[in-house]
Chains A and B, each alone.
Chain A
Amino acid sequence: ILNVEQSPQSLHVQEGDSTNFTCSFPSSNFYALHWYRWETAKSPEALFVMTLNGDEKKKGRISATLNTKEGYSYLYIKGSQPEDSATYLCASVTRDSNYQLIWGAGTKLIIKP
């Protein structure tokens, strides 16, 4: 069974605070790990695609790290702003999944002004 787990399920953060959440994925036959941002009433949009162990990606105040040996990725948001409120999805790609994305259920982030 190829499960991708995200925690926490939801998170309330004060505006200006920094936060992070986790994506756990199968480490065997790893190929890639995706992070998507999904705002309410909109479509999911790609944030990062990560492929190498130890990889770090950054886009503005959002960054992500990847540990393929132990099967986890962290997403960090520095100095949260109201526009960061969204559900953050991760998806794993492995050879076992026939290179299709296996999605986590997401972490819903709510920024309190």
Chain B
Amino acid sequence: NAGVTQTPKFRILKIGQSMTLQCTQDMNHNYMYWYRQDPGMGLKLIYYSVGAGITDKGEVPNGYNVSRSTTEDFPLRLELAAPSQTSVYFCAARAQSSYEQYFGPGTRLTVT
């Protein structure tokens, strides 16, 4: 039982490049989240999903897109990377019956 997995662990992008951060969970949880974590700041919600086919914006969605075609997968897409998107990205999942979130190991992204 792997829980929540994220790939890649690290990535360096040039300004204007695109990439997809992958997130997969094997817990059959309906709810999934993408956060970014910047030094000295709390986790900021980028997008979330309450089930396959349903996504919604969080606090800081600009510059990102998501999709949720299956319960297991919730990829985060950066279309035109900017230095402001340098951050650590966490994916999380939770069951509908509980507010406890299970986090992936994170992806450290640097945009230069």
A, B co-complexed: yes
A residues near B, CB below 8 A? Answer: 4, 9, 32, 34, 42-46, 49, 89, 91, 93, 100-106
Q: Say which size band chain B's interface belongs to.
A: 20 to 34
CB distance from B60 to the nearest CB of A (A): 12
7 A-B pairs with least C-beta separation? A103-B42, A43-B103, A103-B43, A46-B100, A105-B42, A44-B103, A104-B42
CA A10 to CA B45, docked complex, whole Å = 23
Q: A100-B48, A100-B58 are in contact. Are A46 and B43 (CB under 8 A)?
A: no
The interface bits of chain B over 1-24 (1 if a CB of A lies within 8 angstroms of the residue's CB, else 0) are 000100000000000000000000
B residues near A, CB below 8 A? Answer: 4, 35, 40-45, 48, 58-59, 90, 98-106
CA A49 to CA B102, docked complex, whole Å = 13
CA A89 to CA B42, docked complex, whole Å = 8
CA A4 to CA B57, docked complex, whole Å = 20
- A106 near B42 with CB under 8 A, answer yes
What A residues does B103 contact at CB under 8 A? 43-45
What B residues does A34 contact at CB under 8 A? 99-100
Q: A43-B90, A43-B105, A43-B106 are in contact. Are A102 and B99 (CB under 8 A)?
A: no
CB pairs A–B below 8 angstroms (12 shown): A32-B99, A43-B103, A43-B104, A43-B105, A43-B106, A44-B103, A46-B102, A49-B99, A49-B100, A89-B42, A89-B43, A93-B99
CA A63 to CA B102, docked complex, whole Å = 21
What B residues does A89 contact at CB under 8 A? 42-43
What A residues does B98 contact at CB under 8 A? 49
